[in-house]
Amino acid sequence: MRITLRLTLSLVFVVTLIVSLFATLQVRQEQARLEEELGRRAGVLAESLQESVEPLVQGEKLSGLRRLVERFGDRERLAGIAIYASDGKILAMTQSLPAKFQTLPESASEAMKTNQGQGVFLPDDGKRWHLQALPFHQEEKVIGVLILFHDASYIEKSCTRLWKENFIRLLLHLLVISLTTLLVLRWTLVRPMAKTIEWIKRIRSGEFTEHQALPKGDLFAPLAREVTSMAVSLATARAAAEEEARLRHAGESRWTADRLKEHVRTVLESKPLVVIANREPYMHVREGQETRCIVPASGLVTAVEPILRACGGTWVAHGAGNVDREMVDSKDRLKVPPEAPLYTLRRVWLDQKEEEGYYYGFSNEGLWPLCHIAHTRPLFRTEDWMQYQRVNAKFAQATLEELEGTENPYVLIQDYHFALLPRLIKEKRPDAKVALFWHIPWPNPEAFGICPWARELLDGMLGADLLGFHIQFHCNNFLDTVDRMLESRIDWEQFAIHRADHATWVKPFPISIAVEETPLHLRLEPPVTETREALLRKLGVSATYLGVGVDRIDYTKGIAERFRAIERFLEKRPLFREKFTFIELGAPSRTLIKRYHDLGAELSEEAERINKKFQTRQWKPIVFLKKHHSHEEILPFYRAADLCLVTSLHDGMNLVAKEFVAARTDHRGALILSRFAGASRELRDALLVNPYDIEQVADAIHYALAMNPEEQKARMTRMHEALEENNVYHWAADLVSELARLRPIRQKETSLRDVHAK
């Protein structure tokens, strides 16, 4: 449609331009012709009248002159005649002429001086005159001048009429050309192209069969031959891959998107899955006059979407885009991804008060600092708790609507925004298998007990059949918390909680990322040293060594401690001054919350303080870039860095650490990782540090920069292998498999080590 519109508008513009140019030329030519013709006729008439005027003037027969001018005056286009003596006195004049001509015109004076006829055009109050002046003589002496006054307004009228005729002709041309273009495009290009696009979408979604051919047409004949051949090959390869996935289903081969797809279809028995998350996988926003569909930056989206792409189903999320409402149907649904729909997105609408209380208030000013134990005091307000309950109930209602007509459905709830949701769903649909994955840490019982509504949160979570955390330590903390706060029975052998005739399993599922094969464009990229020099040159800094940090600006990420460790490193190792630069890519986050808003300014001040202490004209130790960066923008920094600092004060997993390792396809560089991040359980070859110990982090920076290439390669290779084995597809497969295999625990299977109910 856009191509058709652009082509039509281009044709309209070109035709308009050409017709306008030719019309302008034609009007000018016509005007010149009419003016020339008028001047010629006026000259001939003046010469003929000169022969009659001279004898009358010489004989001083003024009455004869008056009869002459009246007889010839006020004819068509000839408005009048005037006869002036050489001193400018009027001898005779047509009475209908304007009073201004009582004075001898300048062109008449010029004609008497030069003794030659003069023809000029004279504008006057919206009217145009042509004055033809011709001197008359007595014995070869100029004794006066004869002037013919023609009304030249008809010339402009003729030109205006010509413009109108050309304009009408232009409209007819445009109409015919536009309609012809639209029809030709529609029948020869747009319709075949639309069919071709639909055909290619079927290929991408795996619906292609060999008897399906590309839409016919002379224009697409070469494309039909090539793409049909490619589609057959693609379908064959897809079938082979799926067959291989089936055969290797029970093996230990690497998990891929195709293998996950086949696995999920098998374990869920082709039943749809409902995922609930605060963040939506696709958001519609308006930028200027254009509406764009964007993928929000979110590790949760990266981890969870492959499951729905594999098995279909529904993603229930908060519609946060400024044009999200315009893109859904009457039931607030739309198919996604836009380019090849595979599942349904159901959007839930929140007003400003609900969003502020549920998301910014209770979730991020209450539960977030409570669970991270980062020494920021959690804030619990009754009004926030009420909004949290209201929004959980709203999501529960939307989810139950999506579950209608499905027996024994599967529900996967994401994160701390929906602690009450499992119980709300389970009460209405006890046949549903419900899992809740908690993406942040779980604190010890004493810390969690700070929350005034701790029991209500735990009761809501225990409505789930499966509770997932990143690491076993968090599972243990949760079991201890339930054991202390609720009447329940804990099965420590199976890590299950029995309460009110319902069992909830608690298991670790370390989330990960997709580790792809190295793309060709990365294999062909310039060496790391060249990439590093280009990045630093763009930032106006000269350095030999480069460190990088990638974070949301959050007090749990230990960014301030990281800056102080860099300061201490430069104090202890002055040889690295003017050689080592650290670049922090900090994405602003939750800036409506005062603590987050203030944190950005605090970190900028800290970076500036350290820079003033060490910087030179060509170098500074810290470059703090506060903006959202896409993965494509971050990747060159990962690949060019000598080290990556991940110094979280407390983190459920932290995927930045894994992204850095995955990006280093050259198996170079070093990862300095907080031992309080969940990733430290898997990436044991990183340099593990206590982020609160500034001296230890400073020493780790020096060790990383001094590490020999062989050790770097050995460490990075082992970490890369760990990521390939436990990638995001493996995480998703484990989570879905565990949910699908859940069965009620019989009483005789319970362990003697169960803790008795209080």
pLDDT band at 749 (very low <50, low <70, confident <90, very high): very low
Model pLDDT for residues 649-677, shown as the tens digit of each residue: 999 999 999 999 999 999 999 999 999 99
Model pLDDT for residues 703-740, shown as the tens digit of each residue: 999 999 999 999 999 999 999 989 988 998 999 999 99
Ordered by where they begin, the domains of the chain are 2-157 (3.30.450.20), 272-349+390-508 (3.40.50.2000), 526-726 (3.40.50.2000)
Model pLDDT for residues 113-157, shown as the tens digit of each residue: 888 888 888 887 777 888 888 888 887 788 888 888 888 888 888
Dihedral sign from CA coordinates of 559, 561, 565, 567: positive
User: What are residue 146's phi and psi, to 5 degrees?
Assistant: -105, 130
Structure pTM?
0.67
pLDDT at 746 over 80: no
Say which residue the tokens 């052998």 belong to: 493
Average pLDDT over residues 500-526: 73
| Average pLDDT taken over every residue of the chain | 85
Q: Give the per-residue pLDDT at 754.
A: 44
Q: Give the per-residue pLDDT at 477.
A: 97
pLDDT at 750 over 50: no
> What is the C-alpha to C-alpha distance for residues 180 and 89, in angstroms, rounded to an integer?
68
Average pLDDT over residues 27-42: 85
* Contact call for residues 669 and 701 (beta carbons, < 8 A): no
Estimate the crossing angle of helix 594-614 against helix 559-572, to 10 degrees: 10
Dihedral sign from CA coordinates of 428, 429, 430, 434: negative
pLDDT at 4 over 80: no
More confident residue, 548 or 294: 548
> What is the C-alpha to C-alpha distance for residues 627 and 600, in angstroms, rounded to an integer?
11
Q: Give the per-residue pLDDT at 29.
A: 87
* Contact call for residues 661 and 724 (beta carbons, < 8 A): no
- Lowest mean pLDDT of 35-39, 232-236, 665-669, 678-682, name the range: 232-236
pLDDT at 498 over 90: yes
DSSP string, 465-499: SEEEESSHHHHHHHHHHHHHHSS-EEETTTTEEEE
Q: Which amino acid would we find at residue 290?
A: E
Residues, the chain, total? 758
Closest CA to 677 of 481, 474, 507, 482: 474
> What is the C-alpha to C-alpha distance for residues 441 and 738, in angstroms, rounded to an integer?
21
- Lowest mean pLDDT of 232-241, 244-253, 454-463, name the range: 244-253
> What is the C-alpha to C-alpha distance for residues 635 and 683, in angstroms, rounded to an integer?
20
Model pLDDT for residues 260-307, shown as the tens digit of each residue: 888 888 898 878 899 999 999 999 998 888 888 888 767 778 778 878
